[in-house]
Chain A
Amino acid sequence: MVTDIKKNRFYRLFASYFILIFMMVIIIYPLLWTVGASFNPGNSLISTSIIPDKPTLNHYKELFAGKESLQYGQWYMNSIKISVLTMIGTVISVSFTAYAFSRFRFAGRKNGLILFLLLQMIPQFSALIALFVLAQILGLMNSHWLLIFLYIGGQIPMCTYLMKGYIDSIPMSLDESARIDGASNTRIFFQIIMPLSRPMIAVVAMNGFIIPLADFVLASTILRTPESYTLPIGLYNLVNDVMGASYTTFAAGAILISIPIALVFVLLQKNFVSGLTAGGTKG
Chain B
Amino acid sequence: MQHRTIASILSIIPGLGQFYNKQWVKGLVFLGLGISFFVAFKDLLNMGFWGILTLGTEVPRDNSVFLMAQGIIAILVTVLGLIVYYLNFRDAYRNGQLRDKNMRLNTLKEQYHNLVEQGYPYVVSGPSILILVFAVIFPILFSIGVAFTNYDLYHSPPANLVDWVGFDTFAKIFTVDIWRSTFFDVLGWTVIWTLVATTLQVGIGILMAVIVNQKEIRFKRLFRTVLVLPWAVPGFVTILIFAGLFNDSFGAINNDVLAFFGIDPIPWMTNAAWSKLALIMMQGWLGFPYIFLVTTGVLQSIPDDLYEAATIDGASIFAKFRHITMPMILLAIAPIIITQYTFNFNNFNIIYLFNGGGPAMPGSTAGGTDILVSWIYKLTMQSSQYSLAAALTILLSVFVIAIALWQFRRTNSFKEE
Contact = CB atoms under 8 A, between A and B. Distances in A.
Contacts of B330: none
Given A122-B397, A128-B376, A157-B136, A280 B122 contact: no
Query: Majority SS of interface residues in chain B?
Result: helix
A188 to B, nearest CB: 11
Contact of A46 (B65, B66, B255, B317): B255
Interface string B113-155: 0000010111011011101101111111011001000000000
A207 B412 CA distance: 24
A194 interface: no
Nearest to A153: B135
A126 B128 contact: no
Given A216-B348, A274-B297, A33 B252 contact: yes
A121 B236 contact: no
Given A104-B120, A129-B386, A266 B228 contact: yes
Contact of A273 (B69, B297, B335, B349): B297
Contacts of B381: 132, 220-221
A20 B212 contact: yes
Contact of B242 (A30, A125, A156, A258): A30
Nearest to A46: B250
Interface stretch (B99-107, B190-198, B362-370, B398-406): B398-406
B241 to A, nearest CB: 5
A283 B411 contact: yes
A100 B124 contact: yes
Contacts of A125: 346, 348, 373, 376-377, 393
A123 B136 CA distance: 10
Given A20-B223, A31-B233, A128-B376, A44 B69 contact: no
Contact of B294 (A165, A168, A220, A277): A277
Interface residues of A, number: 100
Interface stretch (A11-19, A55-63, A70-78, A195-203): A11-19
B74 interface: no
B416 interface: yes
B142 A126 contact: no
Contacts of A134: 65, 69, 139, 142
A226 interface: no
A11 B397 CA distance: 49
Pick from A110, A117, A130, A221 the residue with the most CB of B within 10 Å.
Answer: A130
A146 B208 CA distance: 42
Contacts of B52: none
Interface in B30-69: 63, 65-66, 69
Contacts of A204: none
A123 B140 CA distance: 10
Contacts of B225: 266
B326 interface: no
A133 B393 contact: no
A103 B120 CA distance: 11
B325 interface: no
B319 interface: no
Interface string A97-128: 10111011010011011000111011111111
Interface of A: 8-9, 12-13, 16-17, 19-20, 23-24, 26-28, 30-31, 33-34, 37, 44-46, 48, 93-94, 96-97, 99-101, 103-104, 106, 109-110, 112-113, 117-119, 121-134, 137, 149-150, 152-154, 156-157, 160, 165, 168, 185, 189, 213-214, 216-217, 220-221, 231-232, 235-236, 239-240, 243-244, 247, 250-251, 254, 257-258, 261-263, 265-266, 269, 273-274, 276-277, 280-283
